Every structure is written in structure tokens, then in C-alpha cells.
Copies of this chain bind each other. A is one copy, B any other.
Amino acid sequence: MTDSHRPNDVRARIPRRKDNDHSHEAAEERRAFLGQRSGVSLDHVGRATIDPALTAGNIENYIGAAQVPIGVAGPLRVRGEHIEDEDVYVPLATTEGTLVASYNRGMRILSEAGGVKTTIVERYMQRAPVFHFNYARGARDFKAWLEANMDGVRTAAEASSSVVKLTYAVGPMLHVRFNFETGDAAGQNMSGKAGLAACQWIAANYPGGVRYTLSGAMDTDKKHSQLNVLHSRGARVVAEARIPDRVLRERVGVAAADLFKVRLNSFAGSVMAGSANNGMHAANALAALFIATGQDAANVAESHTAMTFVRLEEDEETGETVYYWSITLPALIVATFGGGTGLPTQSECLDLLGCRGKGKVGRFIEICAATVLAGEISLAGAVVAGDWVESHEKLGRNR
């Protein structure tokens, strides 16, 4: 602890200007203020090549930018519905050595196996208000009224007929989780507004009125939850591959049957641990993709949740052993416009994936899922083949 950290007065505030002044001058003034107080130079932070004005909707008290290295992995053959049988090169922003190399290897294995099949099962975003009563009976009766009046709710929320709600009664409360379709935006804010409109309509129309809180915690925003596993938050997407034993032996040096056996063991560990993800490391792919493409990195909390399903099969023609490997991401929260997606480096990375702007979110979701699967296979292979610790040693030198 240096003296420079000892403030003279506790209340010294950063911004002489408004916190949403995004001029170069405001940024410099803030850096100077921080430099003066802490004795620390923020040179590199200030050397951002992006125009501060572009960040107006993204940040307050702007002082510059973090530069996070990007590596590229690929090609990855994806056979989805929004991306049909294409090779992609995936930009990954990370500071973790070996990560890009590992995903690269997984992509090669998957591509040699014919690519990754991707399927989006459903997609929507939630707002989960809670309604308060004196007794449970009030909550129960309100639930019946709500079910009978969902058309009014949908109209008020200015949402399509696809607004769905699930209700959860506890004590004298009714928690309600609304599902909204949000197009290509991640949709938390859109859902927040639609949810508010829904609540206001309900409060105005429920006989005698009703008290509510806009969030009763069951949207589980920025949090993993079992509820997300069951009912999805953002996209529920599945990535699948059928990998011939031969490919695994050549690329990983491990037989399919051994990989399968180890997976069963890991399932058992995962169940005991009460893990949010019984696969390997979805968070690695997602964090790196999210930073590169301007997603909200906090959504790694929800998005990293995954269910792995595997089995050994026999190729009907050749009789060869084939390893069916799938990963289901029930809460992948991404967007291809809004938020940070329009910033300079971020939009370039979305462009590289062919995913910038409206109408592209399905494609992006499928690429995310396929990338996750590549990492699963690569790391699982490395753990079994025993080269895991060694590769970190060689490539991740500076830790």
C-alpha cells in the first residue's frame, strides 16, 4: 500500500464533467485525475484507437480501453441451420496461453469428423416479477386470473403472442417468469421494459390492484440456475458430432472407448459436485468469443451451463466405432447488434464470422455452440492422453 493510495479527503469525486461525457478531453481529464491521486500512468489505457464517442451507450466515466489479445482458431466446419456446411475461423480474445491452440486442435478433429451439427431448440429472454399478497390464497387466485388474462398481458408488453409465463407459488407470493422473444438482441433490457409494461397492466387491471417487485430473482439474470437448465434463458442450442475412433486415435492418441469411459467417470464426479456443467470448459470458449465480439462477458455466468450427452455407436456400414458427442447449452445469451457489438474491433470480429447485425444471431449462436464442442473434445483428449499439464508448460510460459 503506497501513500499515493491514501486519499486526502474521502469524498473526492472523479467526474468534474458528467459521467456520460465521452469526449477525448473528458477521458484525459479523468486519467489525469486518477494519475494525480494514484501516481499511476494510464498511458496504454488511453492509447485506445477507438473513438470515445462511439462508446456513449456502453460505458460511463470513460477513461480508455483494455486491449485483450485475439487469436484465431479454425477452420471449423459447422453444419447448422443458420450456417449450412461452412468453414469458419473463430476469433478468441483471451490471455490464457494454450487456449487458442487447444480449440484449434478440437476444430481440426471435428472438421475431419465431418463437422459439427448445430440446432437451436428455442430462444427467448426473461423477466420475473414477484406479486405479493397477505396469504397464499391471494397468490393462488391471482395465478388463476393471470392465466385467464394473458392476452391482455401480451398486448401490454407489446410482445408477440409468444409471450409465455411459468408461475411459482411460495408462501404468500407468486413468482412469475415471463419469456419474451427478443430478436437479435440479447434482450435483458427489452425484457425488462416488456416486463414492466406487463406488470403495470396487471396492477392496473387486477381487481383491487396488486403489489409487485419487477424482479423476484427468478429471472436469475447474470446467475447460473437449475431453472435455466430446465427452461432455457437466451438460447438453448445443441452441438453434436460423430467422431470415428480412427480420428481420435490419430489426432488425440486416445481410443473412443477410453474417452467414453473417462466421461462416465466424470459424470459421477459432476453429480456429486453439483456442477453447473457436466462437460469440460465451455466458459473458456464463451468468455473468449464474448470479449472478441462485444457480448456482455458477465453472461458467462449463465452461458457456461451445459449438459454433455455421449455414447459409443457402431457405424452401420463399416462397423467402426464412432463416438457420438453432444453438448447442450441451455442458457446461451448473445446478440449480434446493440450493446458492444457495434464497437470497432468487436464488429470486425462479428464480420469475420459473418454474424454482424440483425438476422445473424442464429448463425452466431450455432458458431458459439460448435466452438464449445471443439474445446470439449480437445481438452478431454488431452486429459486422457496425459499431455494436459505438459502443453500448459510449453505454451503458457509466463505464469
Contact = CB atoms under 8 A, between A and B. Distances in A.
Given A96-B298, A294-B95, A345-B67, A89 B281 contact: no
B67 A71 contact: no
B65 A70 contact: yes
Interface stretch (A151-159, A243-251, A349-357): A349-357
Interface in A62-90: 62-75, 77, 81, 83-84, 86-89
Interface in A336-381: 337-340, 342-346, 348-349, 351-352, 354, 363
A94 B300 CA distance: 13
A136 B11 CA distance: 26
B326 A75 contact: no
B272 A171 contact: no
B95 A343 contact: yes
A69 B45 CA distance: 9
B57 A395 contact: yes
Contacts of A217: 265-270, 273, 275, 278
A72 B96 CA distance: 25
A173 B216 CA distance: 26
B338 A398 contact: yes
A40 B348 contact: yes
* This chain's copy number in the assembly: 4
Nearest to A325: B171
Which of A58, A64, A307, A398 is packed against the most chain B CB atoms within 10 Å?
A: A58
A86 B56 CA distance: 30
A72 B34 contact: yes
B298 A132 contact: no
Given A88-B5, A169-B238, A398-B56, A229 B272 contact: yes
Contacts of A86: 1, 5-7
Given A65-B70, A388-B192, A224 B264 contact: no
A150 interface: no
A100 interface: yes
A296 B226 contact: no
Contacts of A74: 14
A64 B340 CA distance: 18
A23 interface: no
B69 A61 contact: no
Contact of A132 (B172, B265, B288, B354): B265
Contacts of A262: 213
15 contacts: A10-B87, A45-B348, A50-B69, A56-B398, A60-B98, A60-B99, A61-B71, A61-B101, A81-B137, A117-B135, A121-B136, A169-B328, A224-B275, A225-B273, A297-B300
